[in-house]
Amino acid sequence: MASGFPSTVAALAAGLERGDFSSVELTEHYLARIRALNPELNCYITVCEDGARAQARAADERRAMGEAGVLTGIPYANKDIFCTAGVRTSCGSRMLDNFVPPYTATAVERLHEAGMVMLGKANMDEFAMGSSNETSFYGPARNPWRPDCVPGGSSGGSAAAVAARLAPAATGTDTGGSIRQPASFCGVSGLKPTYGRVSRWGMIAFASSLDQGGPMALTAEDLALLLGAMSGFDSRDSTSVDCVPEDFSRLLGAPLAGLKLGLPKEFLDGRLAPELGATLEEARRVYESLGAECREISLPNSGLAIPAYYIVASAECSSNLSRYDGVRFGHRCDQPADLLDLYTRSRAEGFGAEVKRRILVGTYALSAGYYEAYYGKAQKLRRLIQRDFQAAFGEVDAILGPTSPSVAFGLGQKTDDPVSMYLADIYTTAVNLAGLPGLSIPAGFVDGLPVGMQLIGNYFDEARLLGIAHRFQQATDWHRRVPALADKV
């Protein structure tokens, strides 16, 4: 940056440790950039200037007392799906526009215990339902590389904020690709951890068996630092896995000689734009030059991932969103005639079109007479998809493929075609159905827009995935590219 501040979390942490700048100075730098660029990009729903300054001062005091950790004093953007005590948590919706939680999500608590500074709450698709950030009640976030294009979804505000250098890192959530797809569209790195790796307590639920929080940043090295702080067992979350704490940075320098990477033949079909296929082929050559062996594999049931995902996710969202009834919290209609009127008008006014569509689909799939035909069958397909991945990991160490079938599309281009929008997640949903870790890193550009590459690993193999991604980033510079709009400030 022209200001002299580095961009990555690792470089900022080193600068803070050397005393090149303070957390207060760094935080003011990002707040100034947010004031300059957020009106155009709409990355943030809420900016927490006073709170960020207070956290930055506390971080500098910790450092002065010799109590700082590697992330102490690093600013970040928090996706507005994570509850934050005393700060509005809207989930991108009208329904929760006035919701101020009395508690903080575990993943956010852990980042704050590490000394990170929350700049604000990032824009997102309403209740995380969307692939473009266009369903947000607060209007769409915009892609910093081309503001007339979408940043992806649902974690679009987080991805756009990192890409535009309005935060060096951000939290995101991934139910069917909602970290990886916007990371691809915005040219940043994003990690969806193994299901259960990061606590879901305090993270507003969309589809409980699929949702997983994770970090977004510029590099795999940064993701490793952030995951180390976010992850860990949480007794308040019944789906949290009790794993031994680990250093996710430990394999960043590991050589790739002997590594076996699988390329699913089902991912390289007519659905992938040819120019993106060429980018993936170039990434393959880079990995082979680093000593990895790339081979074709098959995931025969991957074509069933989209229909299975949209039945499972819609069914679970129907159940989770039933709590928003206008009684206890959230939007309430004016002057209801009776209890039924309160329920129906509060929900009709509070939910947007895409959320209503998924509630209706999910409710139908769970209804008497249709449960086994739809939800039950989708769960059986889910198991077949999971078995395909396990068979593949008997042959290879990790899977390489595209993140999205296209680069970022124009605002409004797909809003009237939900099926086309759903297909934007065609390469990502299977990972959530299987509960595996996956990440997206920048791998090139097409027509001036970033292209992401996806790496998928076996359960709890995040450290190796991050090491594989890091070696690619050492050999390429796609992750160092800066949008022209962001470089003006």
Residues whose CB is less than 8 angstroms from the CB of residue 435 and which lie 6 or more positions away in sequence, other chains included: 194, 195, 196, 386, 459
- Give the whole-angstrom CA distance, residue 437 versus residue 145: 27
- Give the whole-angstrom CA distance, residue 406 versus residue 23: 38
Alpha-carbon torsion angle 235, 239, 243, 245, nearest 10 = -70
**DSSP label of 374:** I
- Give the whole-angstrom CA distance, residue 177 versus residue 11: 28
Residues whose CB is less than 8 angstroms from the CB of residue 373 and which lie 6 or more positions away in sequence, other chains included: none
Catalytic positions: 79, 154, 178
**Which two three-digit tokens encode residue 293?**
């062996």
- Give the whole-angstrom CA distance, residue 323 versus residue 380: 28
- Give the whole-angstrom CA distance, residue 121 versus residue 111: 14
CB 124 within 8 A of CB 153: yes
- Give the whole-angstrom CA distance, residue 216 versus residue 180: 9
11 CB neighbour count, 10 Å cutoff: 17
